[in-house]
Amino acid sequence: MNSSWSAPSEKTATLLITIVSIVVPVLVAALMYFPSNLLQLDLNFPLFHAWINGITAVLLGVGFYFIMQRMIAYHRMAMISAFSLSVLFLVSYVLSKLSHPPTPFGGEGWIRPFYFAILISHIVLAAVIVPMALFTIYRSWTGDFQKHKKIARWTFPIWMYVAVTGVLVYILMSPYY
C-alpha cells in the first residue's frame, strides 16, 4: 500500500498485534463486571450495531468482488472501510456495555439453543478475527501480498461470518430489547 507512513518491523507489528489481540477480548469480557449504567447514553445501540455489522458484511463482499476483478484500489478502499466500521463497532459496543444492562434472551424451544450456538460462535470468532484482520492488513501495508493473500483466504470467511451473525443475533434478540 502506498502510504506516507512506514510500516513497523515484523517483530514490532507482531508484538503490537498480539497486545491488541489480548487486550480487546479481555476488555470486552471485563465489561461484564462494570456497572451497566456507568454512562447514561440514550442510544439504540443494538440497532446501530446491526447496521454496522450489515454494512461491514456488504463491504467485505464488495471488497472480495473487487479483488477478484483485480481492482486493487477499490478493494483496498472497501477493506479499509470494513475495518474502520469494525473499530467503530468495538468502540460503540464498549460504550453500550457501560450504558445499558444486558438484555436476556427470552426465546424458548428450538430457537434457544440455535440462538446460543450462533451467539457463542459469533463471540469466539469475533475474538479470533482481531489478530487475523490485523495481520492481513499489515501484510498488505508492507506489500507482502503472498502472505496477505494466504491469510486473507481465512480472514475473509471468518470476518464475513462474524458480520452476518452479528446481524442475525440482533434479529433474534430484537423482540426482547
Task: Report all structural domains of the chain as residue ranges with CATH numbers, in order of start.
Answer: 42-176 (1.20.120.80)
Coil, strand or helix at 105: coil
For 161-176, what is each residue's pLDDT tens digit?
Answer: 999 999 999 999 999 9
Q: pTM for this structure?
A: 0.89
Rounded to an integer, what distance in angstroms lies between the CA atom of residue 83 and that of residue 62?
13
Of 87, 83, 91, 84, which is closest to residue 41 (Cα–Cα)? 91
For 51-78, what is each residue's pLDDT tens digit?
Answer: 999 999 999 999 999 999 999 999 999 9
